[in-house]
Amino acid sequence: MTIPRVSVIVPNYNHARFLPRRIESILNQTYQNFEIVLLDDASTDNSREVIETFKDPRIRTCFNDKNSGSTFRQWNRGVREARGEYVWLAESDDYADPQLLEELVTRLEAHPGAGIAYCQSWQVDENDRKLGTMLWWTNRFHSERWQSDYVEHGLTECRRYFLHTCVIPNASATVIRRSCYLQAGGADETYRMVGDWCTYARILLISDVVYCHRPLNYFRCHSHSVRTSSTKSGVHVEEVCRVVDELLGRLDVLPAERREACDRLIGLWLTALLRDRIPLDRSLNVYRHLRKIQPDVHWRIFAKPLSALRKRLSPMPAFN
């Protein structure tokens, strides 16, 4: 049996409506040396019926009898099932340009030290209408960097960008070297919301990154998404602190960079407290991470709102 070069992992849960477009966009790739590992996490819609209409021999299916409760658990299961040198985590509600695999695999082949290759993404709505690219997300860090292709050392990428946020907005835009995914320990299944950020960062701590500026991925944004609950908001802030805490422990950063990271997390935490009233236990966990990052965090917590208040109360400049 010929071993495929790429394993395309499609973790699905209740995306029957989008599955035909997703699967067809994989089968129609210009690069054809792949297998598809299609995982259904006990969907309650008609996903199984949709999946079973595809008879391509390259598709292997794994149906869970019980929902795993974790996207990242499904990622790890898919990678365990994979046989390819590269894995493409193709989320079930997204779809791709026919050249995505060819472009990203070519870049990984050309740069053996790279663990991740990713491309620019289009945002689309439920009806496939383009909403623009994801440059709005990354331009706040650098207005020109994501306008052209680049290759970067992973540690540099982590220090400049991943220490601040996840600059890979969508998993479907990435092709990952499977050996690097495994060496980094796979996806951390204790995460619920930012496990993708953690996974990419851990891979880039041991490898490099390659970027293609062409928008070859279609990242679906659901119009029916609702406002974040206080519980989810608390989980999100706590998990962001975990990622930053881990990166600061593994990167060589200046004291000023550590303080800056701490102040940014304080701002995120205080905003969530005021807006969503996140639970006390979550807030205590956030505070513990902040204490590890910056021992004098209690002073910085008080200084941040006081600084904002001083700006609001400062007198208006006089006009002549």
User: Quick one: which H or E segment has residue 36?
Assistant: strand 34-40
Q: Are the C-beta atoms of residues 189 and 73 closer than 8 Å to each other?
A: yes
Q: Are strands 95-96 and 114-124 parallel, antiparallel or unpaired?
A: unpaired
Q: How many CB atoms lie within 10 A of CB 22?
A: 24
Per-residue model confidence (pLDDT) at position 174? 98
Measure the CA–CA gap between 186 and 104, rounded to whole angstroms.
20
Q: Are strands 114-124 and 130-133 parallel, antiparallel or unpaired?
A: antiparallel
Per-residue model confidence (pLDDT) at position 148? 97
Per-residue model confidence (pLDDT) at position 57? 94
Instruction: Indicate the pTM of the whole model.
Output: 0.90
Q: Which residue has the tokens 């499904």?
A: 74
Per-residue model confidence (pLDDT) at position 270? 85
Per-residue model confidence (pLDDT) at position 318? 37
CA angle 276, 281, 283 (to 5 degrees): 55
Which residues, 6 or more positions from 55, have their beta carbon under 8 angstroms from its beta carbon?
none
Q: How many CB atoms lie within 10 A of CB 136?
A: 11
Point out the residues of the chain with pLDDT beneath 70. 1, 223-231, 303-320
Q: Are the C-beta atoms of residues 123 and 221 closer than 8 Å to each other?
A: yes
Q: Are the C-beta atoms of residues 75 and 187 closer than 8 Å to each other?
A: yes
| Burial of 155 per CB tally in 10 Å (0-12, 13-18, 19+) | middle
Measure the CA–CA gap between 23 and 11, rounded to whole angstroms.
11
Amino acid present at 171: A
CATH H-level superfamily of 6-220? Spore Coat Polysaccharide Biosynthesis Protein SpsA; Chain A (3.90.550.10)
Coil vs helix vs strand at 70: coil
Amino acid present at 217: N
Per-residue model confidence (pLDDT) at position 61? 95
Which residues make up the CATH 3.90.550.10 domain(s) of the chain? 6-220
